[in-house]
Chain A
Amino acid sequence: MTGKHVFYALLLTVGGLVVQSTLFGESRINPFGAAPNLVLLLVVICAAYLEPEPALLVAFTSGLLMDLLGGSTIGLWAIAMLVAAYVTLRMRRRIDDGIVVVAAGVLGLSVLGQAIFAIASTLFGQQVFADPGWYRQIVLPSLYNVAFAAILIPVVSRVMGGRQVRRLV
């Protein structure tokens, strides 16, 4: 693991952020009123490859950028990304258990990240749960993330040198 890989991971998440904010969401591609959370997905995938400390720093930076470019209070997405990355770091050996476990992991971590954001937002007065479709905003992006994982895992694997997940895809 080198600084080059950390740089690549940051580049990937920044790219994901630009695509996320221009291609997906309201007024863009938004099937059933929700869009994938590509940045969260990329943070989770990158955390499977990076060393723990760089993985957490990449997650924190990505979350902070989401906060700064989005409409939320600064720090809330950073919290969600950190938790998702940390849990990924603790669970990543399970990747060897098979593709179903990877898919379930992506789904679970996406739900976790989105839910942590919704709860943190509520604590800081953002009224996420005032939306009658709040559960849809948590579940649907997570399901889309599973679909996008099939595309992004090989991409990240190639960029990172395919240390862990390559065997599965």
Chain B
Amino acid sequence: MEPFRRFDRSTSLFIGLLIVSFLAATIDVRSQGAGIGDTLRDGTQSLFSPLQQAASVVTRPIVGFVDGISNIAGLREENDRLRDRVGELEAQAEDFAGLQNRLVELERINNLEPPGDVADITAQIFSVGVSSFDHIRWIDVGSDDGVVAGHTVIDEDGLVGRVDFVNATTARVRLISDPRNGVGVRDLDTNETGLIEGQGSGLLRLRMFNPEEPVEEGHLIVTEGGRYAPGVVVGRVAESATAEAGFSLITDVNAAVDFTRIDFVKVLVGWLPSDFSGPPEPGDPIPDAPEPFRGS
């Protein structure tokens, strides 16, 4: 331990800065993503984006190399697993026609035919969160490209997340795996609705509104609409569940998207969420009316 006398001033500074930090956190929480906090984020991100984008160009091959190395060990195991899987798929192929008919019927019931005309723009992820606690991605499109906070973000597998902060050239996407995110969903097999909540690195948690209707493993879960574009695939139920004492029905869902592998994403700029409150800028295209959309 250093002599206490030497730390008189530094202890005062330490306490002062701690108070400033707590005040900043309180103000940021109270302002709910608006005000000075977002102005600071905007300025900082504008400064760092060019650095991060340049660094991303350099680090991308390194990440690819490390990814490749780490995959070699698992290739043999993966090969065996795939052989077994091919056998299973061949057996399932016989049932495919029946399943397809069922899917068409379900889509018709739920009005989920892919419209194909919801405007979207493609974006690349150039930065991830700054710590293991972050479940965000920074993408290289922003308000200049028509992106607003609230837009749904998907990839080829399904729902990725939602834009929660935008500046001119970049946007922050909060993944559905973030514990602060909630997604209104529908079980396509039972047509019951519920809520998906992120659990960080764990599976997504599904809470059904009607506990009387059980959910089965493998049921397809899609977005219900509202804050997210409707009909986007979220994932499949990981474990069958029935109501506990009739009060609640909670189970886990395997996300359709592999969050560790996403690189390019699509922002559905042609669909505005129900909680969008920002006024359209002059000259902005009039967004399409909410239409069902299914991730390809």
On A, residues with C-beta under 8 Å from B are: 17-31, 33-35, 37, 39, 52-53, 55-57, 60, 63-66, 68-79, 82-83, 86, 89-93, 114, 117-118, 120-121, 124-128, 130-134, 136-137, 140-141
Query: CB within 8 Å of A: which residues of B?
Result: 1-2, 6-7, 9-11, 13-14, 17-18, 20-29, 37, 40-41, 44-45, 48, 51-52, 55-56, 59, 62-63, 66-67, 70, 125-138, 172, 174, 178-180, 197-202, 259-263
* Cβ-defined contact, A134 with B200, below 8 A: yes
Most buried by A among B37, B48, B133: B133
21 contacts between A and B (CB under 8 A): A20-B130, A22-B52, A23-B62, A26-B259, A27-B128, A27-B260, A37-B132, A53-B13, A57-B13, A60-B20, A69-B130, A70-B130, A74-B24, A74-B28, A75-B20, A82-B14, A92-B2, A93-B2, A124-B25, A131-B179, A133-B200
Known A-B contacts A68-B45, A74-B37, A79-B18; the reply to A27 vs B200 at CB < 8 A is no
The distance in angstroms between the C-alpha atoms of A118 and B131, with both chains bound, is 11
Residues of A within 8 A of B2 (CB): 89-90, 92-93
Min CB distance A55 to B, Å, is: 8
Determine if B21 and A25 form an interchain contact, defined as CB atoms under 8 angstroms apart.
Answer: no
> In the complex, what residues of A have CB within 8 A of residue B11's CB?
86
Interface of A is mostly: helix
Q: Which residue of A lies closest to B8 (CB)?
A: A52
Instruction: State how many angstroms separate the Cβ of B247 from the closest Cβ of chain A.
Output: 20
Cα separation A91 to B51 with both chains bound (whole Å): 34
Taking the closest CB of chain A, its distance from the CB of B85, in whole angstroms, is 24
Query: Are B136's CB and A131's CB within 8 A?
Result: no
Q: Return the chain B residue nearest A79 by Cβ.
A: B21
Check B131 against A66 for contact (C-beta < 8 Å): yes
| Residues in B neighbouring A74, C-beta threshold 8 A | 24-25, 27-28, 37, 40-41
Closest chain B residue to A52, Cβ basis: B10
Q: Which of A20, A37, A65, A79 contacts B44 (CB 8 A)?
A: A65
Could you tell me the distance in whole angstroms from the C-beta of B204 to the nearest C-beta in chain A?
A: 12
B9, B23, B200, B259: most-surrounded residue (chain A CB, <10 A): B200
Instruction: For the complex of A and B, list the 6 residue pairs with the smallest distance between their C-beta atoms, beginning with the closest.
Output: A131-B200, A52-B10, A75-B25, A75-B24, A71-B136, A127-B179
Shortest CB-to-CB span from B286 to chain A, Å, is 31
Contacts of A124 in B (CB 8 A): 25-26, 29
Since A26-B135, A66-B131, A131-B202 are in contact, a sample of 20 more A-B pairs with Cβ atoms closer than 8 Å, ordered by chain A residue number, is A18-B51, A21-B128, A25-B131, A25-B134, A29-B62, A35-B131, A35-B132, A63-B21, A64-B24, A71-B129, A71-B178, A72-B131, A74-B25, A74-B27, A79-B18, A79-B22, A127-B179, A127-B180, A131-B199, A131-B200
Partner of B260, one of A26, A55, A66: A26
Contacts of A83 in B (CB 8 A): 18
Q: Is there an interface contact between A76 and B14, defined as CB atoms closer than 8 Å?
A: no
Which residue of B1, B129, B135 has the most chain A CB atoms within 10 A of its CB atom?
Answer: B129
Chain A residues with CB under 8 A of B23? 75
